[in-house]
Chains A and B, each alone.
Chain A
Amino acid sequence: EAGVTQSPTHLIKTRGQQATLRCSPISGHTSVYWYQQALGLGLQFLLWYDEGEERNRGNFPPRFSGRQFPNYSSELNVNALELEDSALYLCASSLGSWENSPLHFGNGTRLTVT
């Protein structure tokens, strides 16, 4: 079974540009979560998509947005990039309600903003 895949693995952008990160969940998983992990810090929740709808978002500005496609893959878009957006962006998927099942994480996209 293929795991959660993210692309690209690394992305370098300059301040003010826009970045698009992609995630393919495990086959059959309908929920996709996005997290930001700045260097040396814990995971911060960004967005949760389920069945194509945004279900919840974390405490991030509106320039962080995304969507989920009919095949349950997802995109995270970050507009007007700032230096502090440099981080590892992790995508995770789950099979519906994950209350008693683990989230499965991808290996992330390392975004560097210069």
Chain B
Amino acid sequence: KNQVEQSPQSLIILEGKNCTLQCNYTVSPFSNLRWYKQDTGRGPVSLTIMTFSENTKSNGRYTATLDADTKQSSLHITASQLSDSASYICVVPRAGNMLTFGGGTRLMVKP
């Protein structure tokens, strides 16, 4: 069954601290994995797309990793800011031009 599981469901950290969000998937065949950031009440915004051959990709303070063998991805946020408070969603395409969405991790950064 094609699934995308994210952990933790929610996370609270202090401003300036680092954190890592996890994504495990069982979607097959695999082509790429995407991380989106969704601020409350707004649409998701793409952070990064990782293809099968990429292990690490950075976008500012965001670094995504991918292990296609273990079917795991992580999103690491460095030196968190209050504006990082949002839901982070892991998405994996599957056959038929469909997307499988993870349930998201809700991150709250406190001052």
State the total of A-B contacts with C-beta under 8 angstroms.
50
Given A56-B97, A99-B31: A42 and B43 interface contact (C-beta under 8 Å): no
A102–B98 Cα distance when bound, in Å, is 13
Pick from B46, B51, B97: contact of A48, CB under 8 Å = B97
B contacts with A: majority SS: strand
B residues contacting the other copy or chain, number (CB 8 A): 22
Interface string of A80-114 (1 = CB under 8 A from B): 00000000101010000111111111111010000
Residue of B nearest to A3 (CB): B43
List 27 interface pairs A-B (beta carbons < 8 Å), by A numbering. A42-B101, A42-B103, A42-B104, A43-B89, A43-B101, A45-B98, A56-B98, A88-B41, A90-B43, A90-B44, A92-B43, A97-B97, A98-B97, A99-B31, A99-B32, A102-B34, A102-B46, A102-B49, A103-B99, A105-B43, A105-B45, A106-B43, A107-B41, A107-B42, A107-B43, A108-B41, A108-B42
- Top 10 closest pairs, chain A to chain B, by CB: A105-B43, A102-B46, A42-B103, A43-B101, A107-B42, A107-B43, A42-B101, A105-B44, A106-B43, A90-B43
Q: Which B residues contact A (CB, under 8 angstroms)?
A: 31-32, 34, 36, 41-46, 49, 51, 89, 93, 96-99, 101-104
